[in-house]
Structure 1
Amino acid sequence: MFAPPTVVALLLGLAATPGTAAAATPAPQPYVANPKPAHTVLGPGDSRTAVRVKFAEGAPVRLRDGRLTGPADAPAVRAALAAGTVSRLFPQSEQELADLTAAARRRSGRVQADLDQYYRVALRPGTDPAAVLDALNALPVVEIAYPEPLPAPPPGAAAARPARPGTTAATPNFADRQRYALPGDGIDAAFARTVPGGTGRHVRVHDIEYGWHVNHEDLTKLTAPGAMVPQGRPSSSFESHGTAVMGELIANDNAFGVTGLVPDATPQLTNVGTTTGHNVAGAITTAARALRPGDVMLLEQQMNTCGGGYGPVEWEPATYDAIVAATSAGIAVVQAAGNGNQNLDAPCNGNPFPRGKPDSGAIIVGAGGAGAGQKCSPPRQKLGFSTYGRRIDVQAWGECVVTTGSGDLQGGADTVKYTARFSGTSSASPIVTGAAAALSSIARERGRTLRPTEIRDILRGTGQAQVGTGGQIGPLPDLRAAIARLQAILAAEGR
């Protein structure tokens, strides 16, 4: 017999090991199993050709020579899985996953999901996925089985406008148009850069994304050895999207183009698309193994939630558990809320989002107006497409963002394109990532590694309040106020 989740929580719970953070570590949270649906109803974002299954915590299930062993070798399980081919969901080895979750548990004291209990089942043509899922969910050894999420478009893009004709003229300096970096309607990254560590030099910022133009003239650090941390064999798409995201974050501080919010941070990239499929959860564990406590991971993804529109990717159980492992390991995870205008407080999303599970520790970002200075929507008001709810922590500009890529501001080859119209929770999330990275780097300058929840609490508690109605997307970070709060904390600790 395998131990139920509550017993596993007691067996695996360990006291948090002392780290560089001086503040008290939150009390450990038990593992909470995913609730099973009474009956499978496939939605528009669900695959009809593949499903995912997580076996119960404590069940000694392993894949050996293409066959599941242990309780999963029972006749009822074999019958339910007979309609497809089983493979492990996460790309890491059993030992690598065990090492990742053990380190996360030691650092945080939080009981981790056994990520090696997740499997993918590629269904044979003509198979009814709902019937397979219902059969799996009827088995006690299965914690949850669900449709594989279909790849969703990125949560925003540059406006669909024709690129200007190419030119051989030198690229102008567009930095004065990056008002999201300034005080007032922006986050005041300009002030953060005057504070030791505030340019991000002590942290890595890691983008999980579809693709990038890594040879862009203003993103030279993307070609450095180690910048690409691949998941499997990458399959790239939406390269202009990733280029715009990285321009907001780490574009070179030079006399042309744009300047990143944290230009001295070390960038890293991991692909969600591979030659064998789309795997956000696997990208997170791939990235987490390359990062250190205090680094920042950005999830530039969205997915269909229970309301049928786009919301945060932690809605998917495997992705949620991977995020928990990353934040428990000390990595700040920033997640786009999605562009579906979904209410995360709706009953079908669980209370709280997602599925009534404990807080993942991630920072979830909504999209707000950029302000009259950009001839855009009123500042800090929820934009109509932004997903909202109590789980949304902070907001940033979801429109009118000047950055690399696309070509409506400057056209030509992909290596010299710039845009003034990057948008969505896609443009908002890198702004918050930049704020988190600046804050973390300043703390490291003073010998302190902030926990992910500390970064979130400071940004949320010192930001400029949301304006208007339409659902909660939280305040806009204010780095000047956030740094003052951080400095007070450090001074109280004698740093």
Structure 2
Amino acid sequence: MLSVLNVRRVSGRIAALGLTCLPLLAGAVAEPAGSAPMDPPAVARPVVPGLLEIKFVDGQEIRLRNGRPVDLRGRALTSTASRRVLERVARGAWLRSHDVSEEKLEAMRFQGQRATGGELADLNLYFRLRLPPGLDAEDLAGQLRALPEVEAVHHVPAPPPSPVVPDFYTPGSGSYQRYQDPAPGGIDGRYAATLPGGQGSTVRICDVEYSFNRNHVELAGVTVVGAAPVDPFSDTNHGTAVLGIYGGAANGQGVTGIAPMAQKLFAAAQTASGYNVGAAITTCAANIGAGDVILIEQQTWGPRSTGSSDCFGCVPVEWYKPSYDAIKLAVAANKIVVETAGNGSQLLDDAIYATGNGGHYPFLAQNDSGALLVGAGMSPAYGASARSAHDYSNHGSTLDVQGWGDSVVTSGYGNLFSADGMNGWYTHSFAGTSSAGPIVTGAAASLQGRHKSLRGYSLTPAQLKTVLRNTGTPYTGTKNIGPLPNLRGALNSLSSPGGCTAGGVSLGGGCWYLGAYDQSCLDVCANRGGYSTVTASYVGAPSQGGSLTRCQQVLASLGYAATVSEGTRTDSLGLGCHRWNNGSLWWQSSPAFDPASKTTGGGAQLACACVN
């Protein structure tokens, strides 16, 4: 069986979930003649029997009315074939995939598209269908995918247990929360706590989990948003440990979170309606503000998964297209999304992650969801190997940052302290990308809180990612999992004298900004101290001193780390270093860069250096 039963090509494009494993089916892909041998087909993954998730083609106004999907415009789902399929499932149950209201989802999509200049999937067109008894899911899916209104059909993954990660190290004495220590060993959370805003005040964090212990002494004031959690494994320890890392109370006992002053929210990955990570993400997004943080403590089966309890082959949740679309919407709505990379021992750059899966390849640079992908690094207990990737951690160019993947002291489990009962349990061995994710989440909330204290507004997702990547302590070894956040470096960069204004990155003697569509560099810099000639000498034509390498550096610092291509123009437009509205990145070797150039129709965003 295939997890994506059908993905339709629409208008020349492909129309297109430590951690808790999110199962996803993977199917065999035909091997082209003469090609290198491919990995063997993966085994079928656990799915919810009799449940399908259906995405209708964008541009329609299909909504759930009286328990059935109908086109409010009266044009779709009216054919004989459509009526026949709907009649077959009349005794089943249609559900909206997302709990957030239709109006709120549409508003989030509209605002996100305005902010990014790109298209976002219409999440109001995602539905779940519980089949009536006796119907074969494969047969029905075949009929659904034949309908012109349908874009894709997915099997809904079943929730698996949390992965078990070994206890790599137990501290003997001194401070147990060593991940709060200064760099290079830790993230310097204790320094951040001394600065206004550095404990995450004015920031909200929403954790996507199964459950947590609401009565734990460290977790007073956690607000559950959306439907009540239904934990399929009846184990609150995982969520309790995650929340304790970034949000443990600063009360002089037990643990102290990295961002203890942040408002803590919780959205359930599984509710009475079933297992639905995408719905939890949009529930978080609807209940937090711009610049606030969503942590996704889930992972999903990948094409190499075997269904084992250690989640070998598991990958980030965005491999599942419905979850990817929810993440994209949240990021476009200016929410910081921290996504654990998973404990699957996978190189996400492998060719297997650019084949199959219904044409959905989120780990390619051009398909970056905008989330902060987090790997699991070795703690200082490993000596010279500190900040190298743990064997179980997924890795590759798509990862942004890392956190400790072993020896993490936090609330829950009780193997460090249990004398006061489970509401006062603590552990010394929380591990995996499960522990790395909340460490990065705490760092993000600390950085955001401090920035708001200094500037009065929030960093965007791309800006925050850039700061953490540029100021972190580099990874070691050969597997890229990104740097370990260094809050002292990151926070000091915010308050440096003569720092750039909102959205700016300091490079080569100028403050760089990515302009809006239909703006020249003169327009971009009009309210930023004026245009700086550093633009031409840094990323102009070769005759001006510019280069492709420097253009790549500038765009990566602004949050766009994909490959930059060299181009020339015959229409006299001197656009220099820029990004097109289709997401491609370009540097022009001719003609000479002109700060007054802009494209007719506003098709490009220029990278411009301004005085400030």
Asked if these proteins are the same fold (TM beyond 0.5), I'd say yes
Deviation of the 1:47 alpha carbon: 3.3
Matched, 1:234 2:234: no
How far apart in 2 are the matches of 1:401 and 1:206?
21
How far apart in 2 are the matches of 1:113 and 1:486?
34
Deviation of the 1:228 alpha carbon: 1.7
Match of 1:384 in 2: 391
Match of 2:77 in 1: 72
Match of 2:210 in 1: 210
Match of 1:169 in 2: none
Given that 2:270 and 2:276 are in contact with CA atoms closer than 8 Å, whether structure 1 keeps it comes out as: yes
Amino acid paired to 2:449 = S
Match of 2:344 in 1: 340
Per the alignment, in what secondary structure is the counterpart of residue 267 of structure 2?
strand
Match of 1:124 in 2: 132
Match of 1:479 in 2: 487
Call closer, same or farther: CA 1:198–1:6 in 2, change over 3 Å: farther
Matched, 1:190 2:197: no
Per the alignment, in what secondary structure is the counterpart of residue 476 of structure 2?
coil
How far apart in 2 are the matches of 1:275 and 1:138?
31
Call closer, same or farther: CA 1:275–1:160 in 2, change over 3 Å: farther
Q: How does 1:52-451 map to 2 (within 5 A)?
A: 52-70=53-71, 71-80=76-85, 82-83=88-89, 84-154=92-162, 176-183=175-182, 184-222=184-222, 227-229=223-225, 231-236=226-231, 237-308=234-305, 309-350=313-354, 353-354=361-362, 358-372=367-381, 378-412=385-419, 413-446=421-454, 447-451=456-460
Given that 1:383 and 1:398 are in contact with CA atoms closer than 8 Å, whether structure 2 keeps it comes out as: yes
Deviation of the 1:48 alpha carbon: 3.5
How far apart in 2 are the matches of 1:156 and 1:215?
24
Per the alignment, in what secondary structure is the counterpart of residue 92 of structure 1?
coil
Given that 1:103 and 1:329 are in contact with CA atoms closer than 8 Å, whether structure 2 keeps it comes out as: yes
Given that 1:156 and 1:422 are in contact with CA atoms closer than 8 Å, whether structure 2 keeps it comes out as: no
Call closer, same or farther: CA 1:268–1:148 in 2, change over 3 Å: same
How far apart in 2 are the matches of 1:480 and 1:327?
26
How far apart in 2 are the matches of 1:426 and 1:195?
28
> 1:91-134 CA deviation, whole Å, 9 max, x = no partner?
12322221222232334433221111101111234543333334
Given that 2:349 and 2:363 are in contact with CA atoms closer than 8 Å, whether structure 1 keeps it comes out as: no
Amino acid paired to 1:235 = V
Deviation of the 1:482 alpha carbon: 1.6
| Range with bigger deviation, 60-69 or 472-481 | 60-69
Per the alignment, in what secondary structure is the counterpart of residue 130 of structure 1?
helix
Q: What is the TM-score with the length of structure 2 in the denominator?
A: 0.68
Match of 1:33 in 2: 15
Q: What is the TM-score with the length of structure 1 in the denominator?
A: 0.83
Given that 2:281 and 2:330 are in contact with CA atoms closer than 8 Å, whether structure 1 keeps it comes out as: yes
Amino acid paired to 1:58 = G
How far apart in 1 are the matches of 2:350 and 2:136?
29
How far apart in 2 are the matches of 1:407 and 1:337?
26
Report which structure shows greater RCO (CA 8 Å, sep ≥6). 1
Amino acid paired to 2:340 = A
Given that 1:370 and 1:377 are in contact with CA atoms closer than 8 Å, whether structure 2 keeps it comes out as: no
Call closer, same or farther: CA 1:353–1:483 in 2, change over 3 Å: farther
For structure 2, list consecutive stretches of 5 or more residues without a partner in the other structure: 1-8, 17-25, 31-40, 306-312, 502-527, 529-611
How far apart in 2 are the matches of 1:353 and 1:428?
24
Given that 2:402 and 2:440 are in contact with CA atoms closer than 8 Å, whether structure 1 keeps it comes out as: yes
Given that 1:155 and 1:302 are in contact with CA atoms closer than 8 Å, whether structure 2 keeps it comes out as: no
Given that 1:327 and 1:362 are in contact with CA atoms closer than 8 Å, whether structure 2 keeps it comes out as: yes
How far apart in 2 are the matches of 1:414 and 1:154?
19
Per the alignment, in what secondary structure is the counterpart of residue 392 of structure 2?
coil
Deviation of the 1:390 alpha carbon: 1.6
Deviation of the 1:201 alpha carbon: 0.7
How far apart in 1 are the matches of 2:174 and 2:239?
19
Q: How does 1:13-32 map to 2 (within 5 A)?
A: none
Call closer, same or farther: CA 1:302–1:179 in 2, change over 3 Å: same
Match of 1:50 in 2: 51
Given that 1:156 and 1:339 are in contact with CA atoms closer than 8 Å, whether structure 2 keeps it comes out as: no
| Range with bigger deviation, 425-434 or 101-110 | 101-110
Given that 1:159 and 1:423 are in contact with CA atoms closer than 8 Å, whether structure 2 keeps it comes out as: yes
Given that 2:168 and 2:407 are in contact with CA atoms closer than 8 Å, whether structure 1 keeps it comes out as: no
For structure 1, list consecutive stretches of 5 or more residues without a partner in the other structure: 8-30, 162-173
Given that 2:100 and 2:286 are in contact with CA atoms closer than 8 Å, whether structure 1 keeps it comes out as: no
Deviation of the 1:468 alpha carbon: 1.3
Deviation of the 1:5 alpha carbon: 6.5
Call closer, same or farther: CA 1:486–1:160 in 2, change over 3 Å: closer
Identity %: 38
> 1:441-464 CA deviation, whole Å, 9 max, x = no partner?
111012131001111111112212
Amino acid paired to 2:272 = T
Per the alignment, in what secondary structure is the counterpart of residue 237 of structure 2?
helix
How far apart in 2 are the matches of 1:350 and 1:59?
29
Call closer, same or farther: CA 1:424–1:327 in 2, change over 3 Å: same
Call closer, same or farther: CA 1:273–1:320 in 2, change over 3 Å: same
Given that 1:353 and 1:391 are in contact with CA atoms closer than 8 Å, whether structure 2 keeps it comes out as: no
Given that 2:112 and 2:329 are in contact with CA atoms closer than 8 Å, whether structure 1 keeps it comes out as: yes
Given that 1:344 and 1:353 are in contact with CA atoms closer than 8 Å, whether structure 2 keeps it comes out as: no
Deviation of the 1:490 alpha carbon: 7.3
Deviation of the 1:489 alpha carbon: 8.9
Match of 2:474 in 1: 465
Structure whose residues are more often strand by fraction: 2
How far apart in 2 are the matches of 1:238 and 1:73?
47
Given that 1:203 and 1:441 are in contact with CA atoms closer than 8 Å, whether structure 2 keeps it comes out as: yes
Per the alignment, in what secondary structure is the counterpart of residue 258 of structure 1?
coil
Call closer, same or farther: CA 1:59–1:42 in 2, change over 3 Å: farther
Q: 2:462 aligns with which of 444, 453, 477?
A: 453
Match of 1:13 in 2: none
Call closer, same or farther: CA 1:186–1:92 in 2, change over 3 Å: same
